[in-house]
Structure 1
Amino acid sequence: MKYLLLAGIASIAPISVHAQVATDVQAPAPDAAALPEAQEAGGSNAAEPGTIVVTANRAPTEIDRVPASITVLDKAAIDRAGDFVVSDLLVRTPGVTLSRNGGYGTLTSLRIRGAEADQTVVVVDGVKINDPSSPGGGYDFSKLLVGDATRIEVLRGPQSILWGSQAIGGVVNVVTPLADAPLEGSLDVEAGSRDTVSGRAAAGGRTGPLSWRIGAQAFTTDGISAFDEGTERDGYSNRSVAGRALLDLAEGISADLRGYYSDGRVDTDGFLTDSLEYARNREFVGYAGLNAALFDGRFRNRFGFGYTDTDRDSYNPARARPQTFDGVGRNERYEYQGSVGILSGIDAVFGAEHEESRFRTVSPPASLAVAVPAASRAKADITSVYGQLNAEVVSGLTLTGGVRHDDHSRFGGQTLFAGGGVWALPTGTVIRASYSEGFKAPTLYQLFSEFGNEALDAERAKGWEAGAEQRFLDGRVSIGATYFERRTRDLITFASCFGAAAAADPLCRTPGTGTARFGYYTNFARAFAKGVEAAGRVALWDRVAIDGNYSWTSSEDRSADSAGFGRQLPRRPRHAWNVAASYTVPNALTLSAAARHSGATFDNAFDFTRLSSYTLIDLRGEVPISDTVRLFVRAENLFDEDYRTAAGFGTLGRSIYAGFRGRF
């Protein structure tokens, strides 16, 4: 592995020699959080020409040079939707579905193109976040408030070449802004149904070499019963703060600090009945980096350290010992990333990463007479090198190729590949095709908990997609569609230790003790997903805007000898669509309406419990009262649709909110 690291670093030298003669080349900044707010565009399901994205290449890249499918939500789109949590924004985009175990704050699982909920990489201001103490190691979207987010990108399909483990379904990148004025600020206050109150405030400025911004959000609601037949409300509260600072140290040299912290409490209903149970979640994300741009900015480098700390606790006041769970997960990530402009239209992104993960979990018994068992503890690390080359071989035609090697301390190494092309024609036609691979390393919980199996291998996926988009009237009208397939193997599942066969299974005994256990994790499952995503946009007369998308996703169990072979995986509707329309009277009024449909699906792998299809209608009105302040009112689930995204759990009915938004 050390020779691969040396080779990756040494490759910088010959590339930089070429960059010296490419006098007309400006390499992109090697950082997924480095996109200036002034470059933002888009906000609909079909990106406008000229839109700059960062997630696909981990560096600012024009959308027409990206072969993968990506959706961009800018600040205007985020404000227009008015959602409290990021997951409610994402579910309006192509290929994305979610399930939630109750109201705000309860477990929220997001699935991209039918992948597992823990197969999505989440990035906040360039820092990859997950929870090593959770069984699947995925991210619970319930705790991610919109806050001061200025831009959200959704990259679909296997993306492990640049983003590493977990990126089988795709990547969600959330970016907060940096100030570009001497002093600026924003304020959002909103209140409504179920005593829901949300307040957001942010301030920032730029003075000399220092640019900074800090934003905070407080959210509270009485909520609904998490149990769909319950009578008592399960409330939720969350406080979060995020900040960024960039200090120019010298010409081309800067220091970068970023941080995010949230503290939430949610009432829950255990075993699908009203109860007094609740959970606490505290999360900290930090980053410190040094940026160096050489050769007039053609060769850019970033050295960074990222840290995430997630602390989860669950309580049941009805027990003699109230605490039912205590879990802590930590990640430390050291990384180098470079980007270089080789020739006009040819650039590369490359880097090396080392991530160390730790976890501790314990489930205290209810009785005070029984001692609390020793906590499960473990750690693992993974070292990676990667590179991707982007080349415009002829006018409008860009080809991309990438490779990545990972060396995991527990299950060894592997190499992944990706490639694709995009052709932007003068007629307004854009054709895309790509092949990509992804993987997900076993989590610490799956390896070392009381149900752990240290012989686990990584989950692996291979996928491809092809699509086209046609633009008219200088991009004001567009329509496009994409077909995709993804095959995933060695999926990690839980095997129960019941029945006569379990007695002869050595894995049904805890390693090292021989004590019988309820089950263990194993590589068994396979899945095959395919589908079509279509999207369109119309923007006319600077007053009327209509956009929509439709997704057909077939995501099937392909596990050998599985009772569910050939069946649609649970909580993944085959059909989903979104449509939104708005009408604006300049300096007077904006009215908008949106509809979201989710087709029928099943709650489990054996099709025992059916979740019916549903359609939700939202309305919104907004009035400016000055150049900087706007009043708004919105209604969600206007017709009070009764629906379920997970069997046994309630959903929000009709909700009315009103407030104001200020930008100063």
Structure 2
Amino acid sequence: MFKVTVSILALAIAAPALAQAAAGEDDQIVVTAARAPQKLDEVGQAMTVIDRAEIEARQTVSIADLLSTTPGVTVTRNGGLGSLTSLRIRGAEAEQTLVVIDGVRVNDPSSPGGGFDFANLLSSSIERIEVLRGPNSVPWGSQAIGGVVNIITQAPTDRFRARARAEYGYANSAFASAGVSGGTGPLALSLTGGYLDSDGISAAADGRERDGYRQYGANGRATLALTDAIGIDLAGWYAHSRVGLDGFPAPDYVLADTADYAKTQEVYGYAGVHANLLDGRFRNRVAFTIADINRDNYEPAFGTDPSFIGRGRSERYEYQGDLRAAGPVRLVGGVEHETSRYDDGFLKRSVGITSVYGQAIVQPIRALTITGGVRHDDHQRFGGRTTFGADAALALATGTTLRASYGEGFKAPTLYQLYSAYGNEALRPETARNYDLGVEQALVGGRMRIGATWFHRDTRNQISFRNCADAAECADYPFGRYDNIQRTRAQGIEFAIALRPVDALTVSGNVSYIDSRNRTPGAAFDLDLARRPQETAAVNVDYRLPFGLSVGGTVQMVGDSYDDAANSVRLDGYALASLRAELPIGDRLSVYGRVDNLFDADYRVIAGYGTYGRAAYGGIRVALD
């Protein structure tokens, strides 16, 4: 698989690459690295940016499927669309990725590891995704050990805009979304709604019953300018989802068809005031955010009441200042307090954490940007923790950008890990240290970009579930408990290439080699971490014909991995291919279609759980400006 990928990228490099540079790529603005706007060539950390144009070109419905083709990222799903979907960055645990939507941290306090379930994240309103790979706890705090996925939805606009999309395909899958934005005077608004209904596939690989999925949701943003320098910002997100599940029925207690299902309701909100003082050189923001997730599982065989409930809620108060001081110095810092709540119907708990952080961004010369920062978190349960981070980016006139970074990660134990029936109130926070070195080169007037990044991360005090080891321990914890028992190491290299030989053709590809290992003394020492393939690769090609028809395809390749920590259950590698096309009809309407898993590959990402075979979809898209 690895050799095939390298061959494909070599062919892409050999494509004719002439003409003018793609305008504006060096001036691209990102906000995730320092939690403040920066040019991408001023960032010393490894990042991938996905914009709305790429989301639409790929005809994306599930954001997780799109993210799975980015460097250093792997995704697993417990069956069909809507089932538990976990994203891992550079071999870190899925729960060690911080997810942010419109400034709101959306990781679920009621889930065992506090992770975000990507199952219900659809593309209806998403304008931009920034993926930062590697620990970044200085600006973002707890949970950013593996990295940060920052989701930004459609921003309000001054003039009226509208767009809509509807498609139908495999398994009676129907997806529709519509959005409008506009403004009047000092007020600007955007609103998007979406609906998805699908018969799905069987969650159990050997099952015959389809486990369907349905979601309806909406989100919006608003800005109100009180003066030229002061304004109010609001954002809200709502999604209600229902997915069929398979369980482990008696007498065999193996994964099989059942009538189980789950419902999830997600509500996220942001309310803030910004004040840009000193002619815009001193930007201030005060905000309140809330994330509220309700999960209910049902087993009809045992009645109509939920068999499990999870209620997770986090409330955060935050201030951030961004001062462009005299000369080459910029200071970014803030103060935050977050309260997280957990309720499983039997136990209610809450915990608070107060944080202060500061960063200095210095440009001693125009080509060199150096960033350094420190953060201190004071956790109600285990006390204080200080983390550091630093990075540098050197953007030369030759088109070469050199990057280096050191980052520390920090993750507080979740309420479930501390207080549930399996909890341990003596837990310590997980920590990580990461080193990055990267280089990117622009060639042929910017129409070709190639890059490589090496990284190394060590994680300590990783929290894992431990079964009781002796009679005394079993008396206190008969079903086991969580403990700081694991050390892990991940290291590897990521390659990426982007080509635009002519305006009508774009080619991009990436190859990642990630060696993720258990470094805990004992029987599992130096074994591969579960569900972490060492090799992944993806190639995307899109071409627009002179009469407007766009055609494209994606090839994604994933190497072998193991389903368990003991490395006893092997998951074979696989390759997936997809084709897509879109034809405009006039200036406002287009029709499109795609075929996923073109060659009907039979593969597994989790042992025993089903995956989609060949599937075709078709739809229409409307845009009004």
Q: Same fold (TM over 0.5)?
A: yes
Q: Residues 392-471 of structure 1: matches in 2 within 5 Å?
A: 392-471=363-442
Q: Residues 261-276 of structure 1: matches in 2 within 5 Å?
A: 261-271=238-248, 272-276=255-259
Q: Residues 65-76 of structure 1: matches in 2 within 5 Å?
A: 65-76=42-53
Shift of 1:585: 1.6
SS in 2 for 1:167: coil
Residues 469 and 479, structure 1, Cα contact 8 Å, conserved in 2: yes
Once the two structures are overlaid, the 10-residue window that deviates more, 441-450 or 625-634, is: 625-634
SS in 2 for 1:87: helix
Shift of 1:215: 0.2
SS in 2 for 1:150: strand
Residues 156 and 221, structure 2, Cα contact 8 Å, conserved in 1: no
Q: Which residue of 2 aligns with 1:551?
A: 512
CA–CA distance in structure 1, aligned partners of residues 123 and 205 of structure 2: 26
1:661 and 2:603 correspond: no
CA–CA distance in structure 2, aligned partners of residues 85 and 147 of structure 1: 9
SS in 2 for 1:270: coil
CA–CA distance in structure 2, aligned partners of residues 486 and 620 of structure 1: 37
Percentage of matched positions with identical amino acids: 48
CA–CA distance in structure 1, aligned partners of residues 620 and 25 of structure 2: 29
Residues 587 and 624, structure 1, Cα contact 8 Å, conserved in 2: no
Shift of 1:619: 0.3
Q: Residues 43-442 of structure 1: matches in 2 within 5 Å?
A: 48-271=25-248, 272-320=255-303, 322-362=305-345, 375-442=346-413
SS in 1 for 2:258: coil
Once the two structures are overlaid, the 10-residue window that deviates more, 607-616 or 585-594, is: 585-594
Give the paired residue count. 595
1:539 to 496, 500, 519: 500
CA–CA distance in structure 1, aligned partners of residues 549 and 328 of structure 2: 44
1:630 to 584, 590, 604: 590
CA–CA distance in structure 2, aligned partners of residues 103 and 292 of structure 1: 45
Residues 355 and 381, structure 1, Cα contact 8 Å, conserved in 2: yes
Shift of 1:474: 2.5
CA–CA distance in structure 1, aligned partners of residues 525 and 190 of structure 2: 51
Q: Which residue of 1 aligns with 2:532?
A: 572
CA–CA distance in structure 2, aligned partners of residues 398 and 523 of structure 1: 37
1:645 to 599, 605, 610: 605
* CA offsets 1:581-610 (integer angstroms, 9 cap, x no match): 111124421110110000000000111111
Superposed CA RMSD in Å reads: 1.1
TM-score (norm 2): 0.94
Residues 524 and 559, structure 1, Cα contact 8 Å, conserved in 2: yes
SS in 2 for 1:49: helix
The AA in structure 2 aligned to 1:128 is R
SS in 2 for 1:323: coil
SS in 2 for 1:147: coil
CA–CA distance in structure 2, aligned partners of residues 267 and 59 of structure 1: 41
Q: Which runs of 5+ in 1 are unaligned?
A: 1-46, 363-374, 511-515
SS in 2 for 1:67: coil
1:521 to 472, 482, 486: 482
Q: Which residue of 2 aligns with 1:472?
A: 443
CA–CA distance in structure 1, aligned partners of residues 357 and 546 of structure 2: 49
1:601 and 2:561 correspond: yes
CA–CA distance in structure 1, aligned partners of residues 546 and 220 of structure 2: 34
CA–CA distance in structure 2, aligned partners of residues 476 and 600 of structure 1: 34
Residues 600 and 610, structure 1, Cα contact 8 Å, conserved in 2: yes
* CA offsets 1:92-133 (integer angstroms, 9 cap, x no match): 100000111101000101000000010000000111111111
Q: Residues 12-23 of structure 1: matches in 2 within 5 Å?
A: none
* CA offsets 1:359-399 (integer angstroms, 9 cap, x no match): 0114xxxxxxxxxxxx1111100000001111111230111
The AA in structure 1 aligned to 2:34 is N
Q: Which runs of 5+ in 2 are unaligned?
A: 1-23, 249-254
CA–CA distance in structure 2, aligned partners of residues 520 and 559 of structure 1: 18
Q: Which residue of 1 aligns with 2:7?
A: none
* CA offsets 1:303-352 (integer angstroms, 9 cap, x no match): 00000110000001111464210110110000001101013442121001
Q: Which residue of 1 aligns with 2:472?
A: 504
* CA offsets 1:476-495 (integer angstroms, 9 cap, x no match): 10111000000000001111
The AA in structure 1 aligned to 2:561 is T
CA–CA distance in structure 1, aligned partners of residues 312 and 511 of structure 2: 37
Once the two structures are overlaid, the 10-residue window that deviates more, 635-644 or 389-398, is: 389-398
TM-score (norm 1): 0.88
The AA in structure 2 aligned to 1:431 is L
SS in 2 for 1:318: helix
* CA offsets 1:455-504 (integer angstroms, 9 cap, x no match): 1000000001001011012321011100000000000111112xxx4222
CA–CA distance in structure 1, aligned partners of residues 334 and 547 of structure 2: 48
Q: Which residue of 1 aligns with 2:19?
A: none
CA–CA distance in structure 2, aligned partners of residues 227 and 345 of structure 1: 58
* CA offsets 1:586-645 (integer angstroms, 9 cap, x no match): 442111011000000000011111110100001011111011221111111011110000
The AA in structure 2 aligned to 1:478 is R
CA–CA distance in structure 1, aligned partners of residues 415 and 66 of structure 2: 30
CA–CA distance in structure 2, aligned partners of residues 560 and 412 of structure 1: 28
SS in 2 for 1:485: strand
Residues 49 and 475, structure 1, Cα contact 8 Å, conserved in 2: no
